[in-house]
Amino acid sequence: MKDHQIPKATAKRLPLYYRYLRILHNAGKLKVSSTELSEAVQVDSATIRRDFSYFGELGKRGYGYDVESLMQFFAKTLNEDHMTNVALVGVGNLGSALLKYKFHQSNSIRISAAFDVSEDLVGRIVDGVPVYPMDDMKEQVKIQQIDVAILTVPAQHSQDLVNDLVEAGIKGILNFTPARITAPKGVLIQNVDLTNELQTLIYFLHSGNVLSHEEPVEELTGEE
């Protein structure tokens, strides 16, 4: 990989490329062109070639890309050969939906623990995931070597919980709350505001503008 930093927009497209390459590999396809990839993932071929160029020479001019080797390369890049344990903080409506999702598009992501304040949930196994009280969160994050947390709690409690997660050793947080949380440098925060996403979509729908695939509306920050 080249020394300069990979753009965030490129990083966000890598799982998309990887998933489609897995589909091609399972179908027995041996090679694929950037044009074929473009039609499948709805990203223009020039963008795909630019994305791939950050990682060196991944294909041959006039030949295309070897599906198996490219799939294995992105699997390694995305740490698909390493299981990442994830904590879900807040087992409300959205949290419960995320537990049911099971992240079926990846073999390397597992929600291993959930945390909530509800006495009706604590101590239960919900969709295969044990639900612990919030008081046990820091201890369980350390014991289970959890690196990533999904936050689906009321906004007013989010920052205090983030502070506890960071103290326990969490390195990345997927924030579904409307609060803009902060964390020390080195802890990545990705904000997913569903209302904002919908409003953005409606804006582009009625404005006549085109929402580019090269301009993801999600926000990824490494807070100071």
145 burial type by CB count under 10 A (0-12 exposed, 13-18 middle, 19+ buried): exposed
Whole-angstrom Cα distance, residue 43 to residue 31? 18
DSSP 179: S
Task: Describe the crossing of helices 34-41 and 45-53 by its angle, rounded to 10 degrees.
Answer: 110
Q: CATH for 84-196?
A: 3.40.50.720
Binding residues: 90-95
CA distances from 122 to 113, 114, 128, 134, 200 (A): 11, 9, 13, 9, 37
Whole-angstrom Cα distance, residue 151 to residue 115? 10
Q: Write down the pLDDT at residue 222.
A: 53
Residues of the chain scoring pLDDT < 70:
1-4, 59-62, 80-81, 102-107, 208-224
User: What residue spans define the domains of the chain?
Assistant: 8-77, 84-196
Tokens of 93: 């409506």
3-state helix, strand, coil in the chain (%, to 5): 40, 20, 40
Binding residues for NAD(+): 90-95
Residue 17: enclosing H or E segment and its boundaries? Answer: helix 8-26
Q: Write down the pLDDT at residue 81.
A: 60
- Percent of the chain residues past pLDDT 70, beyond the cut: 85
Q: What is the pLDDT of residues 177-200, one digit of tens each?
A: 988 899 999 999 999 888 888 888
Q: CB within 8 A of 195, min separation 6: which ones? A: 178
Whole-angstrom Cα distance, residue 169 to residue 141? 7
- Domain 8-77 grouped into CATH 1.10.10.10: yes
List, in sequence order, every residue forming a beta bridge with 130; answer none if it has no partner.
125
